[in-house]
Chain A
Amino acid sequence: MQDNIRNFSIIAHIDHGKSTLADRLLELTGVVEKRDMEEQLLDNMELERERGITIKARAVRLNYKANDGKDYVLNLIDTPGHVDFNYEVSRSLAACEGALLVVDAAQGIEAQTLANTYLALDHNLEILPVINKIDLPSARPEHVIGEIEDIIGIPAEEAPRISAKTGLNVESVLEYVVENIPAPKGDETAPTKALIFDSYYDSYKGVIVYIRVVDGYIEPGMKIRFMATGKEFEVVETGYLMPSGTKSAARLSAGEVGYIAASIKNVQDTRVGDTVTNAERPAPEALPGYRKVNPMVYCGIYPADGAKYGDLREALEKLQLNDASLLFEPETSVALGFGFRCGFLGLLHMEIIQERLEREFNLDLVTTAPSVVYMVYTTAGEVLDISNPTNLPPVTETDHIEEPIVDAHIFVPTDYVGAIMTLCQERRGNYIGMEYIDETRADIHYELPLNEIIYDFFDALKSRSRGYASFDYELKGYVKSSLVKLDILLNGDMVDALSFIVHESSAYARGRKIAEKLKESIPRQLFEIPIQAAIGGKIIARETVKAMRKDVLAKCYGGDITRKKKLLEKQKEGKKRMRRVGTVEVPQEAFMAVLKLDDE
């Protein structure tokens, strides 16, 4: 039975055609009629389609009759491409025996290709390269195959050369999967062990848990236990994950991928990475699960309308259900009221969560500048993890501060090496080395402080390399650093939500820049508003928003009244959306003004 199952993922650098290939495979196996085919079927989140990226891992079961005449079940587990979502990738990979490594025949290997490959190797997966986009005039499949063999060190001569876009040669990928990816080797008679790799909340069935059964089986009526949380439930339904939705099945056996529903009401009871076992015949030990990921970037998220605090909490809980890497805890800000300090894997992850909160839950948010986690050594000998600048102890009580450093690899055409190295130097980078991938491209290796890359590094990288640079990083450790807290005062009042921690050397420049940005985003008000940037008690920059001189409708006669009333209403609405900080009304965008500060 297991002999006919193949569980695999597709890994790729962003834009190399992973989702398009997935679409073609679905089409070829006939689970989706071509006419019903929506582009990028697995990316069914609106945001994923718009941005052309995969955020969430997703699984789908395909039936395929191979050339050997046998019927196979192929479980394809889609993975995100971006570095921020390595965690999701890791979850997907743990449920598979193999992975297709898709590489763009024109672009070649990119930073994330490598990162994802190493992840897959960590999980002992069989890695099968696929050369995509061979229809492009600039395609160089032989060259790329050479790159794969040289840089990654896996044979690639057999790799299918395909165009997922045109469908060229895609059927060979299915045969390739059947022939080369190992069948699962679970023990159906052993105590049940199944890995949770995703979950979501259904308002009728409760939490739906996505699992890969490793040993034993799961069927309706069985009493199951989640080994990490210890919670027990009776299985109500089991089934497969079809492209069109779920399809119930009598049992899920070793090697299979599917879902279970067990009237689970509480999101917290099911943890992605946990092991499901039979409560009456439990497995002696759990599956390894996943490495717990620690958020790298934190920011405060507040409802624009304070009354929506409860809604925000509920939304975060729902998102956390299938995004275990999202952390949040309540915090309060003098300027913004009640909200949450949220932890993310990276900047993109942060942006995605913000957008999902706004779109899927219809919330209006104010977010504060992102921060990394600093380790503060106090004079009293304590070590504090500080992710909110407001909580930084006074200088007099601080012995020293350490900040996180990442190991970063930037793949870039040689023409841009100078520009990118300049950028890295500006961001306090420590040059480690550079290797040429071929005569036209280089891999630049730097150590960079994480706090220098969480603002706009990615944008700067793209703009200074005309979009050609790719970037990947991982946390390396903490080093001692001269950091200061920069405060912003509006009309003399400190705005806690605008404070942030910055390296001494760039504090002045940053302070000036933020004051300028704030001047642009704060509208004129009835009185003059001084904007000041300060370190400790010392003012290092000052700008002024001049008092509003004029705001009056010159004309209002009989025919105008209705229209003029509407104008005033609109103006009033705009005013309502602003945050009152002390005496000053601050638009939501101002809190984000500190984010985009690249000098270019």
Chain B
Amino acid sequence: MSKGVYIHIPFCVRKCLYCDFCSTGDHSLMKEYVNALINEIKEHKGTFADTVFIGGGTPTVLGDELIRVINAVKEAFRLEPSCEFTVEANPGTVDYNLLSKMKEAGVNRLSLGVQSFNDNELKALGRIHSAVEAKEAFLMARKAGFDNINIDIMLSTPHQTLESVKSTLEAVKEMNPEHVSAYSLIIEEGTPFYDMELDLPDEDTEREIYYYTVEYLKSMGLERYEISNFAKTGYEARHNIKYWTQEEYIGLGVAAASFENNCRYTNTCDIASYINGKRYDEREFIDKDEQLKEKFMLGLRMSRGVKYSGEFEETIEKLIAKGLLEKKDGFVHLTEKGFDLGNVVFMEFV
């Protein structure tokens, strides 16, 4: 069966204040990194793949080097004709020229890290672009021929109010993307946000914002198919769905994770070690029991839920009684309350 391919580009113009991904604003190792990455890509020559996702970091900071990576993927892997090929882009790092080259090279889905259409919020997040630049990037992408675009927005960020979210959503509507990822901000340990005093919306406002977003996107024809992901019919991100349905994927580059032969591998986070040939430094065997648990822990993130044939009956019934899960048409899935309190459900499967 064809696999998913994830490629990590650990470079950004600068790191955002909330970001705990593996990325850096130091570009001195960029060239060597791309060479090492292409070598790792080549190791998989002949492997069938039907989704590719180049993420980061900010893949688009590579400029033309990114095109080399894309071409290497096409050469090494046997991509299905219908392959979904996504690249993440920061609106502050793209121009029409680069977008056209990407499209020409075979990228058919673009994921734009917009986060907000409010300049105050963008500044508080430490983003490098303005709301206007985000709109421009979107329009350029359309002009370059992208007919499958995702916009990332962030909810419950510093200074955000229900009113400011409304205006961001109105701008999203104006753009009319095929897919939206709307993430609630998570304050991660080790990020500057963790140690800062932030003006964040309270729990009740936070939920109001989320519900409003879900309803608003729905009215645009974007259905929630996962906790934080919304798409027009047929535009669900096939690559990401692999993560939640335990399909196999190959992660290439630093910090990238693979899931193959019942094992989860995670590559080293250290760029220099990676360049010197180091690969995974974590390997976790996922046995049958664990796989069954993960089926629920991951699968229940999606609106359609998990095809259900009586596993963990007692737990499932308990969660149904608490109003967190629901059974329907042979599936078990989160209720509205379950979407708010997903961890209470997921916790039962770790």
Contacts and interface: CB of A to CB of B under 8 A. Distances in A.
Interface of A: 524, 526, 548-559, 561-562, 565, 568-569, 571-572, 575
A555 B347 contact: no
Contact of B183 (A555, A569, A571): A555
B343 A526 contact: no
Given A552-B342, A569-B350, 16 more contacts: A548-B341, A549-B340, A550-B184, A550-B203, A550-B340, A551-B343, A552-B184, A552-B339, A553-B343, A556-B243, A558-B256, A558-B257, A559-B256, A559-B257, A562-B282, A565-B350
Contact of B341 (A526, A558, A572, A575): A526
Contacts of B343: 551-553, 568, 571
Contacts of A550: 184, 203, 206-207, 210, 340-341
B204 interface: yes
A565 B185 CA distance: 19
A555 B298 CA distance: 11
B268 to A, nearest CB: 12
A572 B350 contact: yes
A554 B20 CA distance: 14
Contacts of B298: 556, 561
A569 B206 CA distance: 25
A306 B206 CA distance: 38
Given A552-B342, A555-B228, A572-B350, A562 B207 contact: no
Contacts of A548: 341
Contacts of B240: 557
A556 B206 CA distance: 20
Contact of A562 (B8, B227, B284): B284
Contacts of B242: 558
Nearest to B210: A550
Contacts of B11: none
Contacts of A561: 243, 257, 264, 294, 298
Nearest to B267: A559
B266 interface: yes
B243 A526 contact: no
B251 A568 contact: no
A558 B245 CA distance: 11
Contact of A554 (B183, B207, B344): B183
Contacts of A572: 347, 350
B350 A553 contact: no
A555 B341 contact: no
A569 B203 CA distance: 23
B204 A549 contact: yes
Contact of B264 (A524, A552, A562): A562
A553 B6 CA distance: 21
Residue of A550, A569, A571 with highest tally of chain B CB at under 10 A: A550
Residue in A551, A553, A558, A559 with the greatest tally of chain B CB atoms within 10 Å = A558
A572 B350 CA distance: 9
A549 B257 contact: no
A472 B137 CA distance: 76
B77 interface: no
Contacts of A526: 322, 341, 344
A227 B63 CA distance: 94
13 contacts: A526-B341, A550-B184, A550-B206, A551-B344, A552-B184, A553-B343, A556-B243, A556-B244, A558-B251, A561-B294, A562-B257, A562-B266, A572-B350
Interface string B218-243: 00000000011000000000001011
B255 interface: yes
Contacts of A562: 257, 264, 266, 282, 284
Nearest to B293: A565
B347 A571 contact: yes
Contact of B249 (A553, A555, A558): A558
Interface string B91-131: 00000000000000000000000000000000000000000
Nearest to A555: B183
A550 B346 CA distance: 14
Contacts of A524: 203
B286 to A, nearest CB: 9
B157 to A, nearest CB: 12
Contacts of B257: 558-559, 561-562
Contacts of B183: 554-555
